C-alpha cells in the first residue's frame, strides 16, 4: 500500500462508483497534491462492491450501469463492454484503468474503523489490511464486508493509523451491511442461511431444496438461475411483487423512486428499499418465468423449522429447505461514523445534496437518492463543488 499522508484536506472513504466520481471531480478541480485528498478502500482490488458480486451477473442483467464521468476519455464504456464476461470482472477492470488514468492513488486494502472529532478537524482511524492473506480476511468477515461477530479481539488487531482532515466524503455503499429480517425459528434451521452477498453460483445448490426470500431483481435472478439446478425451489416475498408492464424501468418510474429516497434522506428517516419505489419491470425473460409458473411468489412464511419453512393455518403450508437465500437488501454502511452522532431518532442521517445537515464537514456520496451508478456520478460533481467552495 502507498503510505497515506497523516493530514489531508479531504478524505474519501470508498472507491466504488460514488467515491471514484468524487475523486475524479476533486482532481479535475485541481486538487493534485498527495495532501489534498486521500481515497481509502477496504477491498483488495478495484471495482467497489461489483468485485464481490456473483460470477453469473452480467452488465445489463439487472439495470443499466452508467459510465463513470471522464471514462470516455479512456475509450471505455459499459454500454459497449463484453456482455459475456462477468460484470464483476468488467467493472473491476474499467475502474482500475480509470484510477490509473486519473492518478487517483487509492489506498487499499484499509478498513476505516472510526471517524471522530479532533478540534475543528476530523480524525479518520483505519487498519491497514495489506499484510493479511485473503483467507484470513474472509475468516474475519473483512473480505468485502465487516460483520461485528467476526471482529478480532482488540489485542489481536493491527495498530490503527490516523489521518486528520478538514472534510470527509463517506462513499462506503451498502454491500458491507447486508440486511436479514428476523423470523421465528431462524436459529433452529439445520440448513444454510445465505444473504445475496454470500451467493457465489447456482451449482452450489445442485439437487437441493431452496427457498428464496425477496421481491426484487436479485431474488428473481436467483430463481431463474436455480430453476434447472435445484431439486425444489420456492419463492416468497414479504410484500406482493410490484410488477410493472414494461421491459425496462423508464425515467418516470426511476425518478419516483429517487424522489422517495430523497425525501427520506432529507428528513433523516431510514431509507426505503429502492424496489418499493421502482416496481419490477417484466423483461422478456421474467415474463416467460411468470408465464411458466416459476416467478410466482408465495406470501412470507410464518416460521422456520430444522428442514423447512412453515405457513401457519395452511394445511399444505410448508416447503422443504436445505438453504434459505435472503435477497432482502442492504443498509448503508455507516458504523464507523458512529462517533460523529449523525444518526437521527428517525433512523437515518439527514442528507441533502450529499451533505450531512448536522455536520458541514461531512458528505455522504452514494446515499439515498444517489444509490445508483447514475446517482453516484451526480454525487461526485455536487459534492466536489461544495467542498471546493469551502476550502
Ligand atoms: P460500492 O460500490 O459498494 O463501493 C463502496 C466501497 O467502499 C467499497 O469498495 C468498499 O470496500 C468500501 N468500504 C466500505 N466500508 C469501508 C470502510 N469502513 N473502510 C474502507 N472502505 C470501505 N446500480 C446501477 O446503477 N445499475 C445496476 O445494474 C445495479 N445493479 C446492482 C446489483 C446489485 C446486486 C446491487 C446490490 C446493487 C446494484 N446497483 C446497481 C446499485 C449500485 O451497485 C450502486 O448504486 C453503486 O454501484 C454503488 O456504488 P458506491 O460507490 O456507492 O458503493
Q: In what order do the strands lie in the sheet with 209-213?
A: 192-195, 323-326, 209-213, 232-237, 298-299
Give the integer Cα–Cα distance in Å for 27 and 385: 11
| The three cell numbers locating residue 16 | 466504488
Give dist(CA 275, CA 285) in Å, integer: 18
Which atom in ligand 1 lies closest to the alpha carbon of residue 336? 18
**Length of the chain in terms of residues written:** 391
Span from the CA of 302 to the centroid of ligand 1 (angstroms):
32
The closest of 207, 204, 149, 137 to 180, measured between CA atoms, is: 149
**CA 267 / ligand 1 centre spacing (Å):** 23
| The predicted structure's pLDDT at residue 71 | 97
CA of 312 to the centre of ligand 1 (A): 38
**Is the shortest distance between the CB of 216 and ligand 1 below 6 Å?**
no
Residue with cell 458541514: 360
Please, what are the averages of pLDDT over each run of 10 residues along the chain (391 residues)? 87 98 96 93 96 91 87 96 95 98 95 96 93 63 51 59 97 96 97 96 97 96 97 96 82 79 96 82 94 97 97 87 97 97 96 97 97 93 97 93
Q: Is 332 in the pocket of ligand 1 (CB under 6 A)?
A: no
- Per-residue confidence (pLDDT) for residue 60, from 0 to 100: 74
Beta bridge partners of 292: none
> Is there a contact between 36 and 23 (Cβ–Cβ < 8 Å)?
no
Cell 458491507 belongs to 176
Return the pLDDT at 193: 97
How much distance in Å is there from the Cα of 189 to the middle of ligand 1? 30
3-state secondary structure of 378: helix
pLDDT of residue 255: 85
Task: Count CB neighbours of 246 within 10 A.
Answer: 13
What does the pLDDT read at residue 257? Answer: 87
Atom 53 in ligand 1: residue holding the nearest Cα: 173
Nearest to 168 by CA among 43, 342, 37, 42: 37
Distance separating alpha carbons of residues 17 and 11, to the nearest angstrom: 16
The reply to whether ligand 1 has any atom less than 6 angstroms from the CB of 336 is yes
Q: Which of 18, 19, 95, 81 is nearest to 51 (CA)?
A: 95
Q: How far apart are CA 214 and CA 241, in angstroms?
A: 9
State if residue 113 touches ligand 1 by the CB under 6 angstroms criterion.
Answer: no
Q: How far is the CA of 249 from the centre of ligand 1 (A)?
A: 20
CB of residue 111 inside a 6 A radius of ligand 1 = yes
Neighbours of 131 (CB within 10 A): 8
* Cα 212 from Cα 322, distance rounded (Å): 11
CB 142 near ligand 1, within 6 Å: no
Going by their DSSP bridges, the two strands 308-310 and 318-320 should be labelled as antiparallel
- If phi > 0 it is left, if psi is from -120 to 50 it is alpha, else beta; for residue 254 that is alpha
How far is residue 88's CA from residue 49's CA, in Å, rounded to a whole number?
8
Round to whole Å and give the CA distance between 238 and 213.
Answer: 8
**Is 254:378 a contact under the CB 8 Å cutoff?**
no
ipTM above 0.90? yes
Q: What is the pLDDT of residue 103?
A: 95
Judge whether 354 and 379 are in contact, CB under 8 Å. Answer: yes
Q: Best of 4, 11, 12, 14 to mutate for ligand 1, by most ligand atoms within 8 A of CB?
A: 14
Check if the beta carbon of residue 22 is closer than 8 Å to that of residue 384: yes
Find the 22 Cα to ligand 1 centroid distance in Å.
14
| pLDDT at position 245 | 86
- Separation CA 356–CA 343 (nearest Å): 10
Q: How far does Cα 254 stand from its chain's mean position?
A: 18
State the cell numbers at 332: 448503508
The structure's pTM equals 0.92
CB 104 within 8 A of CB 23: yes
CA of 313 to the centre of ligand 1 (A): 41
Q: Which residue has the cell 454491500?
A: 175
Hey, which residues does 73 pair with through a beta bridge?
none
Q: Is the CB of 273 under 6 A from ligand 1?
A: no
C-alpha cell at 89: 470482472
Q: How many helices (H) and strands (E) does the chain have?
A: 8, 19
Reference 376, options 97, 71, 52; nearest CA is 71
Amino acid at each position: 500500500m502507498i503510505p497515506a499522508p497523516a493530514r489531508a484536506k479531504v478524505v474519501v472513504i470508498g472507491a466504488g462508483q460514488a467515491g471514484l466520481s468524487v475523486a475524479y471531480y476533486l482532481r479535475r478541480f485541481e486538487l493534485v497534491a498527495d495532501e489534498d485528498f486521500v481515497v481509502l478502500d477496504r477491498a483488495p482490488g478495484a471495482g467497489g462492491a461489483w468485485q464481490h458480486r456473483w460470477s453469473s451477473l452480467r452488465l445489463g442483467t439487472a439495470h443499466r450501469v452508467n459510465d463513470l464521468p471522464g471514462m470516455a476519455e479512456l475509450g471505455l464504456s459499459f454500454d459497449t463492454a463484453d456482455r459475456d464476461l462477468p460484470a464483476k470482472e468488467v467493472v473491476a477492470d474499467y475502474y482500475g484503468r480509470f484510477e490509473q488514468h486519473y492518478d487517483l492513488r487509492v489506498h487499499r486494502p484499509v478498513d476505516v474503523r472510526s471517524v471522530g472529532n479532533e478540534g475543528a478537524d476530523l480524525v479518520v482511524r483505519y487498519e491497514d489490511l495489506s499484510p493479511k492473506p485473503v483467507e484470513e480476511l474472509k475468516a474475519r468477515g473483512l473480505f468485502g464486508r465487516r460483520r461485528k461477530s467476526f471482529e478480532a479481539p482488540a489485542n489481536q488487531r493491527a495498530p490503527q493509523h490516523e489521518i486528520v482532515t478538514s472534510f470527509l466524503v463517506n462513499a462506503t455503499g451498502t454491500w458491507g451491511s447486508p440486511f436479514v429480517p428476523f423470523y421465528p425459528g431462524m436459529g433452529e434451521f439445520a440448513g444454510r442461511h445465505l444473504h445475496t452477498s454470500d451467493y457465489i453460483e447456482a451449482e452450489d445448490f445442485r439437487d437441493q431444496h431452496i427457498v428464496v426470500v425477496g421481491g426484487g431483481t436479485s431474488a428473481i435472478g436467483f430463481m431463474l438461475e436455480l430453476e434447472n439446478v435445484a431439486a425444489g425451489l420456492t419463492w416468497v416475498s414479504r410484500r406482493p411483487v410490484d410488477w410493472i408492464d414494461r421491459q425496462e424501468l423508464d425515467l418516470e418510474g426511476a425518478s419516483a423512486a429517487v424522489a422517495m429516497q430523497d425525501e427520506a434522506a432529507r428528513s433523516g428517516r431510514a431509507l426505503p428499499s429502492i424496489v418499493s419505489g421502482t416496481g419490477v419491470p417484466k423483461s422478456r425473460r421474467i415474463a416467460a418465468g411468470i408465464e411458466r409458473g416459476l416467478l410466482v411468489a408465495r406470501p412470507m412464511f410464518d416460521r422456520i423449522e430444522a428442514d423447512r419453512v412453515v405457513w401457519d393455518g395452511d394445511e399444505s403450508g410448508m416447503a422443504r429447505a436445505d438453504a434459505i437465500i435472503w435477497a432482502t437488501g442492504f443498509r448503508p454502511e455507516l458504523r464507523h461514523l458512529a462517533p460523529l452522532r449523525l444518526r437521527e431518532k428517525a433512523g437515518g442521517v439527514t442528507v441533502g445534496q450529499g451533505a450531512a445537515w448536522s455536520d458541514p464537514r461531512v458528505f455522504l456520496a452514494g446515499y439515498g437518492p444517489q444509490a445508483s451508478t447514475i446517482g453516484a456520478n451526480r454525487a461526485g460533481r455536487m459534492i466536489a463543488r461544495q467542498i471546493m467552495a469551502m476550502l
